Structure formats: C-alpha cells, structure tokens
Structure 1
Amino acid sequence: MGDKPCPVIPAPKSLDLRPGDRPWPGAFDVQCRTPHADSAADLFRRPLSPRQGTMPLVLDSASIPSASGSCQITLTEHEIRCTAHAPDGFRYAFQALRQLATEPDMPLGTIADHPSLAIRGFHLNFESYRRMDLAAALQLIETAAKFKLNTILVEYGPRFPFASCQDIVDAESLTPGQIASLTAAAEAHGIELIPLQQSLAHLEYLLRHDRFAHLRERPPKVNLLCPTHPESLPLIKSLMSEVLALHPRSKYFHIGGDEARKIGECPRCAPLVQREGVGQLYGRYIGELARWILAKGRRPIVWDDTLCAHPDALAHLPREAVIQYWDYIAVANPTPVLIPRMAHASGGPRVAHDWHWSIPGRRRALSDLQRDVMASYSRPARLKSALGRAYLNEFGRYLGPGFPRRLRALPYLEYYQDNGFDVITSPTGMGNGDMTGGEPNFRRFEANIATHAARCIENRRALGIITTAWYNMPPELLVQPLIWTAMKSW
C-alpha cells in the first residue's frame, strides 16, 4: 500500500481496489444466504448514508481461508458480496464496508482478510479510571468493535455493586442495571467481556475496613489478603459469585493474583513458607480458586508474575487455566532488558541489563527508546552470574541466542506454553508510572503493544493480547492505545 493511507483500519491482509464511477447507495438490499450471517445481517440493513437508492448486498458462505474471523468482500458495479464462515467474519466485513463508505464513490475490487490473533483485547478498568462512567464505557466498547477488537477485560474493584458487602462499595459504583447494559452492549457488538475480581493483592477497598482487619497479610497494611486464613477463600468466592452472576455469558473469569509477592509474612503463613516456600502457598490458594471457577463452567485466567517468581506454583494450577503474561518493559525484539522475577524473589535484580551496555559507546547500538527504558527502569548486572543457577536452569533456554546482551522479548511465553498452558500476553497502553510532563508516554506504550503483538503472531500458539490501562486519566485518552492495539494485533 506504500505511503498512501489505507482506507480500512486495521489494514486488511489483501486489498485490491480500483476507483469506481458510481456513488455509494443510501442503503443495502440485504440477501442473507447463510445462517452464519443471521446475527450480523441487521448491521448491513442500517442506512449507509443520506444518499438515495439501494444496492444488492449478498451475505454467503464460500471457500475462503478457514482462519477464525475470515471474510472476503467483492465490490462490483451491480452488487456487493460478503463471504465468511462465522458471524465474526461478517461483523468484520461490515466494519470494513462502513469505513470504505465514508468516501463519495464506491471502489471496485476485492478485500480478503482475517485476524492474526484469536484474542485482541483492551482493559476497561473502572477502579483506576474514576472518570469512566457507563456512557464512556459503552463508547469504548463501540470503538473497540469498530476497529475489530473482540475482547474487553473489565475490572470493577469497589465500583461493583456487591450486595453481600455493601460497606466496601464505592459511592460511584455501577448499578446491576448498568452492568446489564454493559454486557448487552458487548454481546451486541460481538465483544467477549471478561470480568476480573482480585483474589489476593489490590484489595485495599476491602481490607481497609476494620471488620476485615484480621484477614490482612501484613497489618496494618491493607493491600494483601492472608491466603491461609479460613475466612479468606469463602469471602473471595462470595465476591466472585456476585460478579459471575452479573456476567452469565462470559466464557472466562479472571481471578487476578498479581503482585502477591509479599505473601507468607503473617504468623499464620510464615511457618508454611519456611517449610515449603512461597510457591506452594500461592499455588494451593490460586489453584483452588481456578478449580472452583472451572466448576462454575468458566475458564479461569490468572496474572503471571507471582507464578513466574515461584514456578513451583504452576503444579497446583489446572492446565485449563489461562496465564496472562504482563510485561510493560519490552519495546523491541530482541531487547537488552530482562524482568527476572524468579531471580528477584531470591534477592537478585528486579529489572536488569547486562553490564556490557554500561561500557561507553555501546548503547549507541540501541534505539533512543530502548536507551530511555534502560535508563528509567533497568540496572546493570553481570547477568550470567546475577541471575543465578536456579533461574538459568528454569528459564535459560528461553532467553534467546543473544543472551546476555540481547534477549528474546517476552521470554516466558514459550515457557508457560511448554508447561501446558494457554497464554494471553499484556502490554500496557497507560501504566508503569511513565508520564512525560504529566502526560502519557504513548511513544513507549505503542512500542510495547507492537512488540507483544509481533511476538504473539510469530509464536503462533498464543491466544492473543489484552492491553492494560491504569491511572485516573480522562477516558478519551484510551482511544489511542486501543486503536493501536487493534492495528497491531490484527
């Protein structure tokens, strides 16, 4: 396509169009010839423009590539034909036609397209985004669908209307009716809504209340739940049950589990950790929740960081669980920077690069953005020795042939897969405390998103990516990373 703007975003896999000499019609005369198009046919029946006249539009099945979401659009002077094998393919064809129809004249030719990743998603975070109301959330879902995202990870925190714990509910919480509107909108737009309820860390809205003080892992701190207290699991299951009830059609349920690295410090947990280690404590707790979610007919998703720091916990997790692997540091592949979570849990570096890059002049081989990330987040270390034998035995073969100077981005992707798990990876579109003059550093976020998408597409086994978003910023700012995610993951 060269330097010319593509008329359809995300750019199709194949686009062969030439100018036509007739205007777009005001509407389509829809002829639905396959049951696969029934749920999408009404989209095509909507008025296209204020212009007069109609044009035949045929929705049919045909011999096209079998990848999920595949579609083909053929535009001739007399009709438009859209072919697909599933409802999502017809939805994507509709979105492409809508974008094409913003031009006065209808082009002629063919578009053949399919997504590269099965899951292409974004994070709708009511807890962080205090300014996100229902109207803004519905607009986000509509925009996601327009640009062919198919998944929204929704995190409510204290803005969920818990009936069993009304004292933890925020004054700005959503009502059950508003959540019903949210789920209905997602379904209408072909979006899979994945609810998330935290289970260990990030429960400040719960643990700050005196009646839950006895469940704090690190009193007086209120950020972490004790995993061994007999009241903890029933409480979390009760909260999750309420969230599940208001998302009756969700296929997945996210049980959180991130940033729980300080478990094992309370008098109840400490002896267990001394005998068996953090991984066993964490694994038993998160594994019990995952099996409980499976018994509810949903597929559990868990953040990866504590699993990565204590990989023996993986033995407790059912293989039906999906691991959501987040890495906000990688902005290129290969990358000079590593997040060695297991080594850090044993006293090693948290984010590190090899000492080689500290030699004057060596960093000129890196991009400006890679140098910025290195300066802001990473510390030099002699990686081969700093990571330790245990880490290298566990993860060394996944670091890539350029180790220790240049490493494979997202090295734990194949590690989790080789251990029998499906994986979703997560870049960030707003996070990591990265602001430039108080404003989001979209330059880094876009590189992070692009790196994740490229690695997952290259890997071929990853389920896809879901871009996260944090901080109480204006919701309109989310459009930029959302569309970037759509373009790079398609």
Structure 2
Amino acid sequence: MLGFHIDMNFAQFTKGYLEKWLTKLSQLGYDTIFWELEDNVKWQTCPECVSPEAFTKDEFREILNLCKSLKMESIPVFQTLGHCEYVLKHDKYKHLAELPDKIDQYCPLHPQLPYFIKQWIDEYIELFESIRKFHIGADEAFLLGECPKCQEFIEKNSLSDLYVRYVSEISGHLIRQNIQPIIWADMILKHPDEIGKLSTQIMFADWRYNIYRGNGKVWVWSRNQLCDREQLDEETLKVYGNFLFPEGDEPGREPETFYTSDFLKSHGFETVLCSSSSAFGDSIFVPRTYLHFRNIYDMAKKGSEKGFAGSVLTSWTVRLFPWELQEPCIELAPFTINNRSMSIEDFQKIYLQKHFGITDKAFFNACGLLSKTGLFMCVLTLGFYKEIKPVPDDFIENILQKLAKDKQLELELEKNQKLLCEYKQALKLLEQFDSKAKYGHEEISTWQLAARNLINRAKSSVCLLKASLKQNSDKQEVAAILQQLNKLKTETMKLYEPIIKPMRLNYVMHCIYDSVENALQKNI
C-alpha cells in the first residue's frame, strides 16, 4: 500500500481540486486514498454536524468513482473515540462526551455510544460500497479514563483494558462484515498491557512525524517525547527493549527508530507506517520541507520492507497551507519506494529538473529558510483549532501578556527579527531562481506568496512585541504593515478560491489574518 490521507476536518476542498489532485496522485504511484470526511458529507446519522457546504452523497460518489477509475482504493477514516469536536459541539450529543466541559472525546463506556458509532459506520459503508478496509481512528484519546465511570473501571482493570474493550467492540462490527479495521497505533503503544486481547485482523497505522534515522532518538509514547538511549526508562525497556536494540544494547548502538512498527508486527498485526507532509509544528504558510523529507524517506523505506503493509502520507489541513506547497514531499514517498538506492539529495535534483528545468538548489535553500516558525505563524499562537470557532478578539493580546509575564518578550523579539532577515533572504533566492527557471513559474509564485506572507507576519510580530515592551512604534510603519497585510489577504484568498469552498475559505482567511490585523489596528 502507498496511501495518501485527505483530511477534510478543517479544509473543505472543492470537487474540482480533489479531482485534479486525485489524478496527480494516481500518476505519481499512490494506490490508496484515506478519506477523513467528518462533517463534509450530508450524513443522516448525525445531520446536526453537517457543514452547510457538505457534499451530497451523490456528489461524493462521483469522486469515489473517479478514484476507482484511477485504480485507487478508497478507505474511510471515521474518528470513533477522539477528535470528535464537530459532533460534541452540538448540544444534542454532549451527553456522549468523556467530560461535560470538553468536546474532543467520547466516553467509551457511555451505553448509547456504540449504537451511535456503529450506525454511522454502516452509513459510511453504504456510501463507499464494497470496501475492504475501514479506519476507525481512535488516536490521541487524551481524556481516556477521566470521567467517574471510566475512573471506576480502570481502578478495577486498566487504561489499556478500557481502550482495548472499546476498540474491540467497534472493530468487531467491521470484522463481522469482512472489513478489516485500521486503528492509529499511538494509544495501544502508550498502554500496551492488553494488546494480546485485540484481534490480529486489525491493521495498525503507526504514525509519528518528527522521527527519522541518524539522530539517535526515538519517540516514546508513554512519555510523549523524543528520547535518546540514555533517557529510556526501565518500563519502556522492559516492554520494547528487544525492538529498540534488536542487535544488543552495547555502547555505540543506537535505538531502532521504528521499533514500534517492529513491536506491532511481532504481535501479528499488519502494520502500515505513516509519515506527513503537513503536521504539528509547521507554520500556517509553509511546511518544514526537509524535516518532512527525512521522515517520509525513512518511513517509506521501512514500510516497503518485507512483513509490513506499506506506508501512508498524511496531510493535516489545520496547518492551512495547500498541497501545492507540499508537492516535493508528496512526490518523495513514491520516489523513495521506486528508487530505494537513491538519496534525498538525488530526489531534489530530479525534482528541480522535472519542475523547473534546472538543478539550482536555491529553491530548496529558500524552502529551508521559510520552514522556521515565529510568533503568530502557527495554530498555537493564532487561537484556532478543529472546533471551527472564531478566534477570540483578545487572543493575541493574551499571548503577549503571557510572554511578558514569563519575561520572554525580548527573546521573542530577537528571534522574530532574525526570522525576518531569513524570510527576506528566502524571497530573494526565490526571485533569483524564478529568473533562471525554464518553467514551473506558477509553483515558484506560490512559494513567493508564502515568503511575502511570512515577511509581513514577522514584521507584524516585531511591531507587536515592541509595543508590548513600550518601545515607540512608528505609526506610519504600522500602517504600511497593515496595508501589505490586506493586500496579501486578497492574494492568498485568490490562491485558495479554487481549493476551498467559499464559507470555509472565509473562515480560513479569518484564522490567518484577522486577529493580527485587529492587534495592529490598536497600535495606530
């Protein structure tokens, strides 16, 4: 399997954009599409959650039929435990929540939940028709075991047992219909005690987007962090030691980066490795291209080894930047599988020649400079997430107040001033590269727009940080930054118009620009 994950949790893609990219993905060699639809189809099971711009079932069937004609398998991704904000934000369903004041997770012990989820699964199956696999999500269930009923259960049993019992019930509904369940692997890797109770008909999707070979670090789910061999705790070594150090743990041996996949395979589970071209840590304007290269390259190689089910490239749209800026990453996965002896550097040369007719590495040097993230350039410092709620008017002001309280204003100012210089350097490199390129100018132009957005955002951050430090601000300079921001908003909206449906596009523009614009207005 070489899969691509289409996330419509945040972006509501137009039919034309999906059709264009499905054709391109097929030509590149992708054979499977994972559809994370959420509220973007007119569901009957949960009509309250349906977006006003959702596809009708007939419209979406046309897209599925295109996939079929392109010889690509379609697999639904339906979150059955966590990441259910689009459902639980509606009063009718809040009783299903793990905690009454949270909307991101169902309670696995709520007696009405299994029926609701299974009914919705059946509606998915009817829509997708003749499916062989079904992804039930079940990742990042951060609140697992927190409600009183769940707490009582884990006191008598365990968190692992709570998780395993729930996903087994949902998986069983699929297995009885001869459909293979797929589950994200993080929760069972975090709580592995009862893994032996799971059906080996389940496939695990083992994901992590910041790991790659050669840095001596591995991801430990129980600690939620990267660890070198000296940081590996006794419990981790007890459970995973044979997979971390399959050749022995003598000095000089580095832990196996993808030990979790080997662990899952050893327990009899089909396992697919999942990398990403857009993930947590990226800015809203561009991906961290080289980091994703390292992750994709190593995971694609591991997934193509004997005994594994393949690899999937995920792309999480809450980061906002379009697939056009992920294109190098998207092309790397099939390239790696088909050219196992070739390096990332080999790929870069081939990509440059194919897309631009030259092999000048200035393009990727510019991508690298733009990949660094500053203040008010990512989800965490812009105040939006999957709930699709308006950004609070005082969000940026509160961020600045927190930085002041933590005595971080000067440090942030220095960092963003440095980033501003690097973004300007990147734009200059792209302009020079554009003058040399034989073709591919539209792709370069998209990167130039991202660079100009980052320059404006760095200027905005510097201005707001100086104001917080009570440094005199040049009102004419602030006005010029605002004028440029609004020009960029118009340009960016034009770029996104064929990509995202109108109502969601307005919300995306709100997330990118409005809170920063409002904060700057207060300094004129």
| Equivalent residue number for residue 447 of structure 1 | 294
Pairwise CA distance, 1:172: 2.3
- CA–CA distance in structure 1, aligned partners of residues 104 and 193 of structure 2: 24
**C-alpha distance after superposition, 1:5-64 (max 9, x if no partner):** xxxxxxxxxxxxxxxxxxxxxxxxxxxxxxxxxxxxxxxxxxxxxxxxxxxxxxxxxxxx
- CA–CA distance in structure 1, aligned partners of residues 323 and 219 of structure 2: 30
CA contact (8 A) 2:140 2:186 kept: yes
| Equivalent residue number for residue 460 of structure 1 | 306
Is 1:129–2:4 an aligned residue pair? no
CA contact (8 A) 1:283 1:317 kept: yes
CA contact (8 A) 1:337 1:407 kept: yes
Q: 1:150 aligns with which of 31, 38, 51?
A: 31
Aligned residues: 333
Name structure 2 gaps, 5 residues minimum: 339-524
CA contact (8 A) 2:277 2:315 kept: yes
Distance 1:478 1:124, change over 3 A: farther
Q: 1:223 aligns with which of 104, 109, 113?
A: 104
| Equivalent residue number for residue 239 of structure 2 | 394
- What letter is aligned with 2:3? G
Alignment of 1:43-442 (within 5 A): 119-130=1-12, 132-332=13-213, 334-342=214-222, 344=223, 350-354=225-229, 382-384=230-232, 387-388=233-234, 390-400=235-245, 401=247, 406-435=254-283, 438-442=285-289
- CA–CA distance in structure 1, aligned partners of residues 102 and 49 of structure 2: 17
- What letter is aligned with 2:292? F
Pairwise CA distance, 1:220: 0.3
CA contact (8 A) 1:335 1:407 kept: no
Q: Which has the higher strand share?
A: 1
- CA–CA distance in structure 2, aligned partners of residues 218 and 489 of structure 1: 44
CA contact (8 A) 1:129 1:473 kept: no
CA contact (8 A) 2:4 2:313 kept: yes
Pairwise CA distance, 1:254: 0.4
- CA–CA distance in structure 2, aligned partners of residues 167 and 433 of structure 1: 32
| Equivalent residue number for residue 486 of structure 1 | 334
**C-alpha distance after superposition, 1:397-451 (max 9, x if no partner):** 111358587221111111111101010010011102223x842111111111001
- CA–CA distance in structure 2, aligned partners of residues 336 and 396 of structure 1: 15
Q: Percent identity, please.
A: 24
CA contact (8 A) 2:201 2:269 kept: yes
**C-alpha distance after superposition, 1:282-335 (max 9, x if no partner):** 000001111111112211100000010111242332111100000112122x44
- What letter is aligned with 2:189? C
- CA–CA distance in structure 2, aligned partners of residues 275 and 432 of structure 1: 36
CA contact (8 A) 2:274 2:313 kept: yes
Distance 1:468 1:133, change over 3 A: same
Secondary structure in structure 2 of the residue aligned to 1:269: helix
Pairwise CA distance, 1:170: 1.2
Secondary structure in structure 1 of the residue aligned to 2:313: strand
- CA–CA distance in structure 1, aligned partners of residues 331 and 279 of structure 2: 17
- CA–CA distance in structure 2, aligned partners of residues 139 and 298 of structure 1: 29
| Equivalent residue number for residue 344 of structure 2 | none
- CA–CA distance in structure 2, aligned partners of residues 282 and 433 of structure 1: 28
Is 1:474–2:319 an aligned residue pair? no
CA contact (8 A) 1:279 1:307 kept: yes
CA contact (8 A) 1:194 1:252 kept: yes
| Equivalent residue number for residue 435 of structure 2 | none
CA contact (8 A) 1:124 1:137 kept: no
Pairwise CA distance, 1:263: 0.7
- What letter is aligned with 2:237? L
**C-alpha distance after superposition, 1:183-234 (max 9, x if no partner):** 1001100001111110000000111111111111122010010000101111
- CA–CA distance in structure 2, aligned partners of residues 172 and 316 of structure 1: 41
Pairwise CA distance, 1:337: 1.8
Pairwise CA distance, 1:383: 1.8
- CA–CA distance in structure 2, aligned partners of residues 244 and 473 of structure 1: 31
- CA–CA distance in structure 2, aligned partners of residues 402 and 178 of structure 1: 55
Secondary structure in structure 2 of the residue aligned to 1:154: strand
- CA–CA distance in structure 2, aligned partners of residues 141 and 478 of structure 1: 15
Secondary structure in structure 2 of the residue aligned to 1:325: strand
Distance 1:310 1:330, change over 3 A: same
Distance 1:178 1:479, change over 3 A: farther
- CA–CA distance in structure 2, aligned partners of residues 176 and 298 of structure 1: 21
CA contact (8 A) 1:121 1:485 kept: no
- CA–CA distance in structure 2, aligned partners of residues 133 and 313 of structure 1: 42
- What letter is aligned with 1:433? G
Pairwise CA distance, 1:478: 4.0
Pairwise CA distance, 1:135: 1.2
CA contact (8 A) 1:335 1:409 kept: no
- CA–CA distance in structure 1, aligned partners of residues 175 and 198 of structure 2: 11
Name structure 1 gaps, 5 residues minimum: 1-118, 355-381
Distance 1:229 1:180, change over 3 A: same
Q: Which has the higher helix share?
A: 2
Q: If the length of structure 1 is used for normalisation, what is the TM-score?
A: 0.65
- CA–CA distance in structure 2, aligned partners of residues 290 and 474 of structure 1: 33
CA contact (8 A) 1:121 1:149 kept: yes
